[in-house]
């Protein structure tokens, strides 16, 4: 239960940051727990829509199941939203990456803190 709470709190933190940056944003109820693809957060402003999958970790790398990425891409394709992965490592800001920037293994997709800093965009850069 603790991991779910940590994830929910991270999503809420990001929503507050998005609103403070002038975007409308909301958590998607049931993301990850229903049979239809759904991102963690939808953010929009002036006709631009982002479907965002959020991850936070204390480790030096973050992994996502390939199915999570596949569902994010399917939702984005159907809705016309732009898919993003938002990842935050301990004592670091949020970094935003496209799914294609993740490194794929046989069962997972991942990103290291070093790669996120190098390739990812910060909130003010993308929003």
Q: Burial letters for 63-91: b for 16+ Cβ neighbours within 10 Å, e otherwise?
A: bbeeebbebbbebbeeeebebbbbbbbee
| Residue ranges in the chain whose pLDDT is less than 70 | 1-3, 31-32
| Residue 42 pLDDT | 97
CATH of the domain at 112: 3.40.1350.10
| Residue 13 pLDDT | 95
Q: Which of 84, 90, 93, 89 is nearest to 41 (CA)?
A: 84
* Domain of residue 53, residue span: 2-126
| Residue 1 pLDDT | 45
The count of domains in the chain is 1
| Residue 127 pLDDT | 75
- Residues tagged active-site: 31
pLDDT digits (tens, 9 = 90+) for 103-112: 998 889 999 9
């Amino acid at each position: 239960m603790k991991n779910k709470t940590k994830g929910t709190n991270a999503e809420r933190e990001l929503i507050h940051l998005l609103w403070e940056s002038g975007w409308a944003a909301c958590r998607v109820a049931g993301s990850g727990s229903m049979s239809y693809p759904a991102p963690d957060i939808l953010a929009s402003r002036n006709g631009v829509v982002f479907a965002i999958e959020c991850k936070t970790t204390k480790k030096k790398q973050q992994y996502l199941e390939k199915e999570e990425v596949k569902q994010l891409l399917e939702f984005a394709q159907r809705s016309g939203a732009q898919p993003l992965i938002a990842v935050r490592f301990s004592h670091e800001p949020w970094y935003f990456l496209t799914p294609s920037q993740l490194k794929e293994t046989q069962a997972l997709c991942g990103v290291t803190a070093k790669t996120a800093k190098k390739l990812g965009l910060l909130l003010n850069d993308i929003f």
